[in-house]
Amino acid sequence: MPATDPYRVIGEQLSNIVRDEDFAGLYEPTGREAVWPGMLALVTVFQFQEDLPDREAAEMAARRIDWKYALHLPLDYLGFHFTDLHNFRQRLLDNEQEALVFDALLGKIQACGFLKKRGKQRTDSTHVVGVVQKLARLELVTETMRVTLREVKAVDEAWATRVLPAALCETYLERRRDYRLSDAERQTALRKTGQDGFWLIEQIDRDAPRTIRELDTVQTLRTIWEQQYERSAGQVTPREKMIVNAKELIISPHETEARAAQKRGQSWLGSRVHLTETANTAEENQGEPNWITDVTTDIAPAGDTEALPEIQAHLVERGVEPEQQIVDAGYISGPAIADSRVDGVDLRSSAPRYLAPGLSAAQLSDGRGATPSHLPRGQVSRQVGRHPDRRRTTNHTGLL
């Protein structure tokens, strides 16, 4: 194994980044002995690096010598059940400790002197695709009913048998598709599902045990029905206009935090992640790589500007706040620049996507109609485009 092999480097220099003691607050002091959380944390990193599912990652921990070397495991170690990885990640989420390993690694990097204080950093966002299927409106509400009824029956079979009609369960406990329905049939099915959903909510509120009333799936049912339906004079009808914005609209009962969003012409279902890393030149780094200093997740439709205060607060908490922070145009606003200066951060960005009206294409062009175009103060735009000015007949050029 060469000295530069990443698993050898981890085994010899970085295996003590996290210790089992770091996770002590996440476990009960009594009960059976847990699988070593420090090892599970590193296995989670390894499986992400090699893009492996839980089952294969658990097998690698038992079969791969380089993994065992990095994890300081004996050669005869037989491994753990693959579900322990899911349970470990869920334990981190439930205790809001998902950044524990990241903070420990960043602290190690700081202690080694690799992270320059008050340097330059850059921040940008990208999409995170959720493990959800795009559902039509009828599919959304029928799937919500199916998930809710299945959970209710699993929690209290006796109550479900006593209260829920067999016809209701037969209708919704199987997956349904609407691609063969006409528009009229689809509207009829939407109204019928809405009525059945409100009836189910009323039965749960009337005499269901607390274990059912507090189910997450029941709360999701309530929210989706409030978003998708309206009741007036005893009639249930699908809403013609949504009463909530895209930040709150649930698109799947299976991943209630996933949202629909679009950025630069790309649409996705899921969330958004903001990554911040050091932005030093190769000479400044002296051969060392740039380091990620923050990872902040947000709902997909949220604007970049909204996340900036949280990102900067994270950097301050970790003691890695930059002197200059480079962002794209989505993060820039007057208040954001002013607030950053108060905190000693010079927030910089490229020009906004479109320039203010009043600068015509002729003023920005070099006269030959080719790019790059010359901007005021001698600056040059590497990529330009045109968009119509609705108030005038001329086109204006702006940065893309």
CATH code at 281? Answer: 3.30.420.10
Q: Based on the fold, state whether residues 148 and 218 are members of the same structural domain.
A: yes
Determine the pLDDT at residue 265.
Answer: 77
Query: How far, in Å, CA of 330 to CA of 326, rounded?
Result: 11
Determine the pLDDT at residue 380.
Answer: 59
Query: How far, in Å, CA of 368 to CA of 365, rounded?
Result: 7
CA 13 to centroid of chain Cα atoms: 31
Q: Is residue 211 part of a domain?
A: yes
**How many other C-beta atoms can be found within 10 angstroms of the C-beta atom of residue 283?**
7
Q: Is residue 250 part of a domain?
A: no
- Could you give the angle at which helices 334-342 and 304-318 cross, rounded to 10 degrees? 10
Backbone angles phi, psi at 360, to 5 degrees: -85, 170
Instruction: Please list the helix, strand and coil fractions of the chain in percent, rounded to the nearest 5, in that order.
Output: 45, 15, 40
Among 350, 369, 384, the domain-final residue is: 350
Q: Based on the fold, state whether residues 10 and 109 are members of the same structural domain.
A: yes
Q: Is residue 125 part of a domain?
A: yes
Query: How far, in Å, CA of 22 to CA of 256, rounded?
Result: 30
Q: Based on the fold, state whether residues 141 and 193 are members of the same structural domain.
A: yes
Q: Is the dihedral of CA 228, 230, 236, 239 positive or negative?
A: negative
CB 24 within 8 Å of CB 9: no
Q: Based on the fold, state whether residues 63 and 109 are members of the same structural domain.
A: yes
Q: Is residue 249 part of a domain?
A: no
Determine the pLDDT at residue 362.
Answer: 52
Determine the pLDDT at residue 369.
Answer: 47
- Could you give the angle at which helices 216-228 and 137-155 cross, rounded to 10 degrees? 150
CB 395 within 8 Å of CB 387: yes
At 297 the three-state DSSP class reads: strand
Q: Is residue 252 part of a domain?
A: no
Q: Based on the fold, state whether residues 220 and 157 are members of the same structural domain.
A: yes
Which amino acid makes up residue 117? K
Q: Based on the fold, state whether residues 102 and 14 are members of the same structural domain.
A: yes
Query: How far, in Å, CA of 400 to CA of 397, rounded?
Result: 9
**H or E segment and range at residue 384:** strand 384-388
CB 312 within 8 Å of CB 340: yes
Q: Based on the fold, state whether residues 121 and 33 are members of the same structural domain.
A: no
Residue-by-residue pLDDT tens, the chain, 400 positions = 787 888 888 888 877 888 888 898 888 888 778 889 999 999 999 999 999 999 999 999 999 999 999 999 999 999 999 999 999 999 999 998 988 888 888 888 888 777 877 889 999 999 999 888 889 999 999 999 999 999 999 999 999 999 999 999 999 988 876 668 888 999 999 999 999 999 999 999 999 999 999 999 999 999 999 999 999 888 899 998 877 888 899 999 999 999 998 877 788 999 999 999 998 776 766 667 888 999 999 999 988 889 999 999 999 998 889 999 999 888 988 888 998 898 889 998 865 544 444 455 455 544 444 445 555 556 655 555 554 544 444 443 333 3
- The Cα-based distances of 200 to 146, 238, 283, 347 in angstroms read 12, 17, 66, 52
Q: Based on the fold, state whether residues 232 and 188 are members of the same structural domain.
A: yes
Q: Is residue 32 part of a domain?
A: yes
At 271 the three-state DSSP class reads: strand
Q: Is residue 220 part of a domain?
A: yes
Q: Based on the fold, state whether residues 43 and 89 are members of the same structural domain.
A: yes
CB 292 within 8 Å of CB 122: no
Q: Based on the fold, state whether residues 367 and 340 are members of the same structural domain.
A: no
Instruction: Give residue 374's domain range.
Output: 351-400
Among 238, 271, 292, the domain-final residue is: 238
CB 101 within 8 Å of CB 45: yes
Query: How far, in Å, CA of 27 to CA of 24, rounded?
Result: 6
Q: Based on the fold, state whether residues 121 and 104 are members of the same structural domain.
A: no
| Number of domains within the chain | 4
Among 179, 208, 238, the domain-final residue is: 238
Q: Which residues of 78-90 are buried (b: 16+ CB within 10 A; e: fewer)?
A: ebbeeebbeebee
Determine the pLDDT at residue 34.
Answer: 83
Strand partners, 299: 271
Q: Is the dihedral of CA 128, 133, 139, 143 positive or negative?
A: negative
Q: Is residue 371 part of a domain?
A: yes
Closest to 361 (Cα-Cα) out of 379, 383, 337, 385: 385
Query: How far, in Å, CA of 365 to CA of 371, rounded?
Result: 8
Strand partners, 270: 129, 259
Q: Is the dihedral of CA 23, 25, 27, 29 positive or negative?
A: positive
Q: What is the pTM of this model?
A: 0.74
Q: Based on the fold, state whether residues 121 and 263 are members of the same structural domain.
A: yes
DSSP state of 13: I
